[in-house]
Amino acid sequence: MQDQQRVPRVPVTLSSASVYPLTVHDAFAMAKDVGYDGLEVLITGNQASQSATALMALMDKYQLPIMAIHAPTLLLTQQVWGSAWAKIERSVILAQAVGAKVVVAHPPFRWQGTYAESFVEGVRRITASTGMKIAVENMYPWRSRGRESSKMYLPHWNPVPEDYKHVTWDFSHAAIANMDSRQALEDLGDRLTHLHLCDGLDNGKDEHLVPGLGTQPVAESLNFLRDSQWEGVVAVEVSTRKAKHAGQKEEWLGRTLEFAREHLTINQDSERVTK
């Protein structure tokens, strides 16, 4: 009876980045075993992550939807799918083919020339022509020889003040940038489309920790989204590379899923009392 009175408003998906360097097939298997609502697929050099046919076969086998595609705009995927705009455009085509509503993209590096200079307008144009939500992710300033540089990305690593219709928020990146995620989510308002659930420390390392192991206000942020009836999607992006075996990976991912649902679920009895 108690479970029937608790209503999850926000789907919690597993990012395939959480099981890297294992394959997207492994991500589907773990998501099914642990009980996730779906997946976010990071496009990598792995052929299955690039193929609509392969991804739809996995969706059918595991009966799980793909809710977001992460474009190959990371440093480690610079050789995937050619030019910078091709990465975005092909990600949109793949997302449409598998039924995903969101494409996650990193802001461009300053050295990417005209792509970087036209990025904001280009994202706006593709969104208008395709209807796809291209959610630009928050990054962080890079440090070189102990000094901080905010000039690695163009227009900036922080999407909050930029003219993006859709934004992805990542807690690990926010930790490196020493940002208050709870305040940032409020500042973003309805521009917040997608969330990468993890945690982090202000130590310059992009660790993607299990929530609660870092310093970000993750629980408070999820509670805020729950109470504001946010309608986006959460993707768990926790690094499991240091796990000693598959069972430990699933333990970390299961703990994170439990954390997410605990803080995103509304108790109907409490909701009735407040009305």
Domains of the chain: 8-269 (3.20.20.150)
Q: Look at residue 2 in the predicted model and tell me its pLDDT.
A: 42
Per-residue pLDDT of the chain (275 residues; tens, 9 = 90+): 344 444 457 999 999 999 999 999 999 999 999 999 999 999 999 999 999 999 999 999 999 999 999 999 988 888 889 899 999 999 999 999 999 999 999 999 999 999 999 999 999 999 999 999 999 999 999 876 555 555 789 999 999 999 999 999 999 999 999 999 999 999 999 999 999 999 999 888 999 999 999 999 999 999 999 999 999 999 999 999 999 888 999 999 999 999 999 999 876 444 443 44
Other CB atoms within 10 A of residue 53 CB: 10
Q: How far apart are CA 195 and CA 197, in angstroms?
A: 6
Q: How far apart are CA 18 and CA 225, in angstroms?
A: 23
* Residues paired with residue 41 on neighbouring β-strands, in sequence order: 69
Angle (deg, nearest 10), helices 84-98 and 119-130: 30
Strand spans (E) along the chain = 6-8, 12-15, 38-42, 66-70, 102-105, 133-137, 142-144, 147-149, 167-170, 192-197, 233-236, 265-267
Q: Look at residue 143 in the predicted model and tell me its pLDDT.
A: 72
Quote the pTM value: 0.91
Which of 87, 168, 90, 108 is CA-nearest to residue 134? Answer: 168
Q: Look at residue 4 in the predicted model and tell me its pLDDT.
A: 44
| 59 contacts 98 by C-beta, under 8 angstroms | yes
Other CB atoms within 10 A of residue 152 CB: 16
Q: Look at residue 274 in the predicted model and tell me its pLDDT.
A: 42
* Residues paired with residue 6 on neighbouring β-strands, in sequence order: 267
Q: Look at residue 52 in the predicted model and tell me its pLDDT.
A: 98
Q: Is 154 helix (H, G, I), strand (E, B) or coil?
A: coil
Q: Look at residue 271 in the predicted model and tell me its pLDDT.
A: 46
Q: Look at residue 266 in the predicted model and tell me its pLDDT.
A: 72
Q: How far apart are CA 150 and CA 168, in angstroms?
A: 19
Q: How far apart are CA 57 and CA 105, in angstroms?
A: 25
DSSP state of 109: B
Question: Which stretches of the chain are DSSP H helices?
Answer: 24-34, 47-50, 52-62, 84-98, 114-117, 119-130, 171-176, 181-188, 218-227, 246-264, 268-274
